[in-house]
Structure 1
Amino acid sequence: MDTTDTSDTSGFLEEALDRVHAAGPEREGWLSNHAPMVVETLAAHGQARSVHQWLDLYRDKLEDFPDRTAPVTDDNWLSALGDPRRIADWTDHYSRALAERPWKDVLAQWWPRLLPGMYGGATHTVIRVGHAVRALEDQENAPRLTELAHALGYWAARHQPVTGLAELPGATTAADALDAVPTIEPGHVGFRDRLAAVHRLPVWAHDVTDPDTAKERLTELVRAATHRYATHGHGEPTMLVHAATAPNAVLRTLDSLPRDQWVPSLRAAWTASAAVTAMYAPAAPVAYVPPARPAPEEVLERALAHGDEHVIKLTDTALDIGDEQALAAVLRSIELSEPLV
């Protein structure tokens, strides 16, 4: 069932984004600012009138926007790629580009450049872009274009490729392929340290060459990763959300991209989902039977009442899928996660 209702969203998301853009994309030197992603989710699902109330609860997690260093230009951008000190410079660069050209042209130019580095910022970079794109597909205006500039700027500054992965035998389905992902050795702490310990991943959908098939497989991956959270989320309730939300951000961006970018997008999304699985999956799954079978609207209400940003983002992905197992994953995340207040 579709919970989206845009009838009451006029102005609320724009006001929220204006508030958010005074803050940087991170806090405490690394942790991502989830506010732009959450307020877009609430607006997209008919809860725009709740965005300011949620932001008021989250505001202590916001830090000032960082200082500028030196302009990023068409000539020096490669040397600035992956430099987190250049967040403001990158945001300015995309703001100028979006003022000069249609946003889909800017996205099409930069998506293949940024795609290999979607692991920076614990995949929040691509997730933020996915939310910005959905907002622009619904309505194009200045605050939403500014959000895309901020999202792309964050991705460029935190760009972090993963290279040197050994390929392991894969599986036919996305669910079986995720089950085949080997976990990393214990003892690694933090996202970057854990990511550096990922050396082997199974192949999946590596033989796909058709854009439409790529979209079908990506849809399958998002569904499998979301379903899997219900039985595996206890491994790390926060971080394992990204095994589903990162590929979903890619999926919801596909229709705004040239079709020749769909296949590489599938491959990058699989690597991201599999890497997060390797980094945080538990030693064994646990059976999970939800206490009830609530409707999608009730699941969204429960997630909003809970308030945790990752619960809300997983809810967003689960509502895209819409089946009972996906909604059960949301209920599991509510059980496992600390509420915002």
Structure 2
Amino acid sequence: MSGILEEAYQRFHATGPEFDGALSNHGPMAVEAMVRHGHEREVHAWIDWYGARLDEPPRGLNPVTGENWREALGDRKRAMDWIAYMQREVRLRPWRDLLAEWWPRLLPGIVGGATHGVIRVGHCVRALLAEEPSQEISAGPRLEEFAHALGYWAALAKPLEVATPPRSGDAAAASALAAVPSVANQSISIGYRMSQLGETPGWSAAFEALRTPGTPEQAADLLAAVADAAVRDYLRRGQGNPVMLVHASTAPNAVLRTLPALPKRLWIPSLDAAWLATAAVTAAYRNTEAPAADVAAAIAQTGNAQETFDRAVRHRDEHAVKFADAALDSFERTADKEALAAATRATLMIQAAA
């Protein structure tokens, strides 16, 4: 099955990064997860199904350069300009160097586009790191996907218009996440929901509560704990919005996957940005706690890790696949079966809403 991921990337690079106006193309992310978990044989059939809804790449508007990039940052209409820029750059220098340069520029806008930019980068970096031990990467679909992912994030990267004071708390990840309040009006777009954060009682205190790590290694451990807490939180609170709330865990997990490719000086800022993404998405979409019977039913229907991922693939939904992938990462770190049950519940709820 060698080359399946490369073939999949090539097919998706003939489509646009978004479709139906502003929906993110999840294809490259989902197929990377499918290949990683042994579903290579289903990839092309899945692309046939998913790709039918995608659009052709839009035209570029004005080339991004080393001089004008600041004015183009966060302009999703310039997505193809950004992708073309990253395609040029990745041919000129090692991908890790390009990542290290752009990562701190893009982190402040991690929530832009509902975090899809950083998630796509995280999936691609995992694919690049998986290939590195066996061969030197100089060209090919994986590098092309890196350019598409990084360029797409640059087009989405808009900082939240809410004050984020330095954290001063000492709370563990699960406790800090549990304290995040919900915005008052959970309707309309993610932008409207997040515009309420600054006026939401308890938001600042909850955001500041997460402890501050003293070393890059501590930041990595705390980031993993944030991703794990968000997965488990979904089990009981995911019904607020079964699709959108998956990003509270997939975003920090994407950052965590990227850390090994980044200089350690960027690990603590990466935690800070990922925590903001998790807390903001949680505040925007988390709702009341699910009935205990629903949680128990999800736990009862959950098998082992492979069975959990297989269920998501059978359902086909891209969010179910990506969340199951993140949940399996969490289960591997913690051996907590609630992580797998959260993936089961996500698949069931997304399937019911389809």
Q: Please report how far the alpha carbon of residue 171 of structure 1 lies from its aligned counterpart in structure 2 after TM superposition.
A: 5.8
Provide the residue aligned with 2:351 in structure 1: 338
Q: Please report how far the alpha carbon of residue 278 of structure 1 lies from its aligned counterpart in structure 2 after TM superposition.
A: 0.2
Aligned-partner Cα distance in 2 for 1:56–1:340: 22
Structure 2 SS opposite 1:16:
helix
Q: TM-score, normalised by structure 1?
A: 0.93
Aligned-partner Cα distance in 2 for 1:298–1:317: 15
Aligned-partner Cα distance in 1 for 2:211–2:318: 33
Asked if the contact 1:170–1:177 (Cα under 8 Å) also holds between the matched residues in 2, the reply is: no
Match of 1:298 among 298, 304, 307: 307
Asked if 1:281 corresponds to 2:281, the answer is no
Q: After alignment, is 82-91 or 106-115 more displaced? A: 82-91
1:104-137: CA deviation from partner (whole Å, max 9, x where unpaired):
0000000000010011111011000000101111
Asked if 1:148 corresponds to 2:146, the answer is yes
Match of 1:64 among 56, 73, 77: 56
Structure 1 residues 293 and 80, CA, compared in 2 at 3 Å: closer, same or farther?
closer
Mapping 1:1-341, distance limit 5 Å:
8=1, 10-139=2-131, 140=137, 141-165=139-163, 172-186=171-185, 188-199=187-198, 200-201=203-204, 202=206, 203-287=208-292, 288-289=295-296, 290-322=299-331, 323=335, 324-338=337-351
Aligned-partner Cα distance in 1 for 2:48–2:343: 23
Aligned-partner Cα distance in 2 for 1:339–1:284: 18
Identity of matched residues, % = 46
Q: Counterpart amino acid of 2:79?
A: I
Asked if the contact 1:307–1:340 (Cα under 8 Å) also holds between the matched residues in 2, the reply is: no
Q: Counterpart amino acid of 2:348?
A: E
Aligned-partner Cα distance in 2 for 1:266–1:132: 19
Q: After alignment, is 122-131 or 296-305 more displaced? A: 296-305
Structure 1 residues 260 and 286, CA, compared in 2 at 3 Å: closer, same or farther?
farther
Asked if the contact 1:204–1:270 (Cα under 8 Å) also holds between the matched residues in 2, the reply is: no
Aligned-partner Cα distance in 1 for 2:126–2:20: 28
Q: Give the length in aligned residue pairs.
A: 333
Q: Counterpart amino acid of 2:91?
A: A
Q: After alignment, is 126-135 or 288-297 more displaced? A: 288-297
Structure 1 SS opposite 2:120:
helix
Q: TM-score, normalised by structure 2?
A: 0.90
Structure 1 residues 204 and 52, CA, compared in 2 at 3 Å: closer, same or farther?
farther
Structure 1 residues 106 and 54, CA, compared in 2 at 3 Å: closer, same or farther?
same
Structure 1 residues 174 and 206, CA, compared in 2 at 3 Å: closer, same or farther?
closer
Asked if the contact 1:241–1:310 (Cα under 8 Å) also holds between the matched residues in 2, the reply is: yes
Structure 1 residues 100 and 169, CA, compared in 2 at 3 Å: closer, same or farther?
closer
What is the root-mean-square deviation of aligned Cα atoms in Å?
Answer: 1.7
